[in-house]
Structure 1
Amino acid sequence: MFESGINRVAYLEKIPTFLARKQIEVLIGSRRTGKTTLLKQFIQTLLQQSVSGKDIFYLALDHPALSGHPISEHVRNIRKLFMHDRSRKLYLFLDEVQESPNWEAELKALYDLELLKIFCSGSTSALIARQAGKLTGRQIVTTVFPLSFQEFVRFRGEPPSLSEDYKYEQMADDYLTLGGYPEQVLNPSQEYMTNLLEDILARDLARIHPIKKAHILKDLLRLVGASTGSRTSFNKLSKILGLSVDTIKEYLIYLEMAFLVKPLEKWTTSWSERVYSQKKLYLWDNGIKTLLTGYGDEESRAENAVFLELQRKNIACGYYAESDREVDFVIGSLAKPLPVEVKYLDSFDWKDKRFNGIRLFLNRFPNVENVLLITRRVEFKNAITDKTTLHAIPLWKFLWSAQNYPGMREETDHTQ
């Protein structure tokens, strides 16, 4: 056996499903979110299930000695080394697969012709976009997120009793500041986060995309961090940075592909309104926000954390807005919407003007059954109309077990 780090149970629980299907398992996500560690944990699980070590092969394709050779050549060398029959099933783990030449066609051929179960990882969603359909139907994509709050707590030691809510409140505050990059959680360091961001911008963006003014990417990211969760004006960003609107949009797409920024569209049945309305922009990790904009702004961080949890659970949502009033997130259909509002409060007053957006939404959609209000420590469940129940939930409880609340149903993975 070998050291494979702290188990990420949410992903390890999927191994039986992974092994039961033929498709290539593709892990994508930001650099240093733990994809390599996960591949090693998958290998550890196979070994514990009595799969022979001679049938399992891990290749770090960003290593100079390996990156220049086609994947099929590596597979042939593996079979030759152990004199494996072609009919013997092997398990192939390919880390940073995009570094291998012609990897898309190589994987297609291996999938079609060899008896292999293939797992691979990559640090940019360009890994999927540039395939031009070569692996359609042959791959299933799993996004590896920064640590969830549950994982964050477990990475920091034995979880306290759930009755010790004050400890969880403090850990939630720490989570909003540190974020979920595993190494940052284990050994907090501003230098580490600085190097991580530089690495992402240089290796996952400037090296791959035709960016003429790469230094502006960090300025753009800082502006996004300063207005996390706010409706974004591309024209305003264009004027501040002295770039065209089209360039701003293009750079934001690059930041999204590197798992730094994630846009949220307006919740509406009108396709054109969804496309042309302003987007809200969120960061993939609050630790990046701390690095870019410093400490404070807890409510914005809390909203960012809730958004990431919805993404982690693969729950579709949008924001609702009329003029200056809005609801942070709306889940579900027009017939049965679930509004979710994040207010990092220690006390509650329904008449507070900060709830104008929710009150407007209930006027527009009087059949709403439930409203989720994510707070700092306020907790209750009360009827606010004849048909509507307001669930006030402390942030840590929502992040710990979001699936326990109305409308929080995880959607299934899909084959690409």
Structure 2
Amino acid sequence: MSEVNWNARLIGIKGARGVGKTTLLLQYIKLNLSKNLEETLYVSLDSFAFRGKTLIGLADVFVRNGGKYLFLDEVHKYPNWAQELKNIYDDHLELKVVFTGSSLLEILNSRADLSRRAVIYHMQGLSFREFIALETGQTFLKYSLDQLLENHPDIAEEIHQKIKPYPYFKEYLRHGYYPFYKEEFDLYEQRLEEVINMMLEIELPQLRGIDIGLVPKIKQLLAIISESVPYVPNIAAISQKMNIHRTTLMTYLYYLEEVGLTIHLQKESFGNAKLQKPSKIYLENTNLMYVLFPKLSDMGNVRETFFANQVGYQNQLRYHEKTDFMVNQTYAFEIGGREKAKKQITGLENAFIASDEIEFGYQNKIPLWLFGFLY
């Protein structure tokens, strides 16, 4: 919430289903507009009450009655949202509009040019830092990657003066990424399965025009990936196994990343992402790993997925020939457990070990959990 410039006239918040976009809007209204409720309106565009109405008509009536703050949830449920938001922005200079939508929401490629008008933010699931804050009631600073690499012993010490973070780490890996774990904890995995199904069965057909009959193929592809993440895709073999064309397969892989279910590591950053074969594929977060493949036993894969998810949110991840990750085209990272040796990073500049099962690091060996304090 603190990172959003709420003074902007048109704000868009994108994110995967379940990360807390609706709660963010309602909390902001409660904390900042409680004295201006007669000038404030929250509308969910998937509500039956909105059927048969238009955004432009809504905004006109709202402004005429003194409205100043309009919050529109799930705009992707409304077919002409981009054009009408553009018109509202141009026609009502005194109105501030905040809208949320799926991670598939097209801002730059929409026919209405919203890119010059809207300030767009991408909302991620909970970081390990935010999870600990929810669990303990204590607040912790966030750090840039450069701050972490330079001062990790001091940062770890400051955190340990408040709590011992490591006992919370394995909890977070299983159930700490989506905020709804706080509601009906026993139903968390079931609810997460429902979130996955809604992404594939509703958002992809609605926002990418995929035939609903093809969704089982995409689910099959997700199952293949989840059984062995990080997955090194053999495009020819998968195409044959699934009986689909290579180009179709590459498109499906792209959709899985776009909807927020996978993370792809590329060797290069140029070209059309739909046509690039990923060097490695991870599930987007560790909670998905435990739900999609309950027999999961390889902690090495879980650790790499955690690193990719937490570091990749605000940094550029690339495939590295000798280590697990190249970050920001500058830093090489090898991920491992307590005994992970420096053999694989010997001779490499700006190379680090992200090590699980340790509370404090030394030199270029850094506790893995600490990378959960980047946002």
For 2:365 and 2:218, how far apart are their aligned partners in 1? 38
Q: Is the 8 A contact 1:320 1:327 kept in 2?
A: yes
Q: How does 1:88-237 map to 2 (within 5 A)?
A: 90-114=68-92, 115-128=94-107, 131-132=110-111, 134-158=113-137, 162-163=159-160, 167-186=164-183, 187-189=185-187, 190-208=189-207, 209-211=209-211, 212-237=213-238
* Partner Cα distance (2:210, 2:361) in 1: 52
Number of residue pairs aligned between Structure 1 and Structure 2: 350
Deviation at 1:128, TM superposition (A): 2.8
User: Quick one: structure 1 residues 151 and 258, their matched pair in 2 at CA, closer, same or farther if it must change by over 3 Å?
Assistant: same
Structure 1 residue matching 2:33: 3-state secondary structure? helix
Instruction: Answer with 205-214 or 135-144: which moved more.
Output: 205-214
The 8 Å contact of residues 25 and 140 in structure 1, kept in 2 or not, is answered as yes
1:43 aligned to 2:21?
no
Question: Unaligned regions of 5+ residues in structure 1, if any?
Answer: 1-11, 363-367, 383-390, 404-416
CA contact (8 A) 1:156 1:185 kept: no
Q: Is the Cα–Cα contact under 8 Å of residues 179 and 285 in structure 1 kept in the other structure?
A: no
- Which one of 341, 355, 366 corresponds to residue 349 of structure 1? 341
Q: Tell me, in whole angstroms, the C-alpha distance in 2 between the residues paired with 1:238 and 1:165.
A: 52
Following TM superposition, by how much is the alpha carbon of 1:14 offset from its aligned partner in structure 2, in angstroms? Answer: 2.2
Write out aligned runs for 1:12-411 (5 A). 12-15=1-4, 17-19=5-7, 21-22=8-9, 24-47=10-33, 50=35, 52-80=36-64, 82=65, 84=66, 90-114=68-92, 115-128=94-107, 131-132=110-111, 134-158=113-137, 162-163=159-160, 167-186=164-183, 187-189=185-187, 190-208=189-207, 209-211=209-211, 212-266=213-267, 278-294=278-294, 295-312=296-313, 314-321=314-321, 326-333=322-329, 337-343=330-336, 345-351=337-343, 355=344, 358-359=345-346, 362=348, 368=349, 370-378=350-358, 379-382=360-363, 391-400=364-373, 402=374
Query: Does the C-alpha gap of structure 1 residues 199 and 276 become closer, same or farther in structure 2, counting only changes over 3 Å?
Result: closer
In structure 1, the partner of 2:144 is none
Deviation of the 1:71 alpha carbon = 0.6
How many Å apart are 1:277 and its aligned residue?
5.8
Secondary structure of the residue aligned to 1:256 is helix
Instruction: Spell out, residue by residue over 1:66-96, the C-alpha distance to the aligned partner (whole angstroms, 9 max, x if none).
Output: 143211111122234x3x3xxxx71110001
Aligned partner letter, 1:286: T
Whether the aligned pair in 2 keeps the contact of 1:61 and 1:95 (CA below 8 Å) is yes
Deviation at 1:308, TM superposition (A): 1.3
Structure 1: distance between partners of 2:239 and 2:17: 28
Could you tell me which amino acid in structure 1 is paired with residue 6 of structure 2? F
| Compared CA separation, residues 76 and 255, structure 1 to 2 (3 A) | same
Letter in 2 for 1:395: L
Kept after mapping to 2: 8 A contact 1:233/1:278: no
Q: Distance in 2 between matches of 1:205 and 1:332?
A: 30
- C-alpha spacing 1:131/1:319, structure 2 compared with 1 (3 Å): same
Q: Secondary structure at the match of 2:248?
A: helix
| Structure 1 ranges of 4+ moved more than 6 A | none
Contact 1:238 1:244 in 2 (8 A): yes
| Alignment root-mean-square deviation, CA | 2.8
SS at match of 1:183: helix
The answer to whether the 8 Å contact 1:286/1:304 transfers is: yes
3-state SS, counterpart of residue 325 of structure 2: strand
Q: Calculate the TM-score normalised by the size of structure 2.
A: 0.84
Q: Give the 3 Å change call, closer, same or farther, for CA 129–213 of structure 1 in structure 2.
A: farther
- Matched letter for residue 115 of structure 2: T
Distance verdict in 2 for CA 1:271–1:62, change over 3 Å? closer
Summarize deviations over 1:309-353 as a string: whole Å, max 9, x none. Answer: 1232x21221112xxxx32221234xxx2112211x1224334xx
> 1:394: how far off?
1.5
Q: Is the 8 A contact 1:70 1:103 kept in 2?
A: no
- Is the 8 Å Cα contact of residues 318 and 329 (structure 1) preserved in structure 2? yes
When structure 1 is superposed on structure 2, of 276-285 and 162-171 the one drifting more is 162-171
Return the alpha-carbon distance in structure 2 between the equivalents of residues 278 and 146 of structure 1.
23
Query: How many angstroms apart in 2 are the aligned matches of 1:165 and 1:280?
Result: 37
C-alpha distance in structure 1 between counterparts of 2:302 and 2:327, whole Å: 20
8 Å contact from structure 2 (residues 233, 281) kept in 1: yes
Q: Distance in 2 between matches of 1:136 and 1:97?
A: 16
SS of corresponding position for 1:232: coil
**Aligned-residue identity in percent:** 24
Residues 254 and 277 from structure 1, CA distance in 2 versus in 1: closer, same or farther, beyond 3 angstroms? closer
What is the alpha-carbon distance in structure 2 between the residues aligned to residue 216 and residue 197 of structure 1? Answer: 14
Partner of 2:309: helix, strand, or coil? helix
Distance in 1 (alpha carbons) for counterparts of 2:271 and 2:203: 32
**Residue deviations 1:250-285 (CA, integer Å, cap 9, x gap):** 1122222321123221158x879xx75643222222
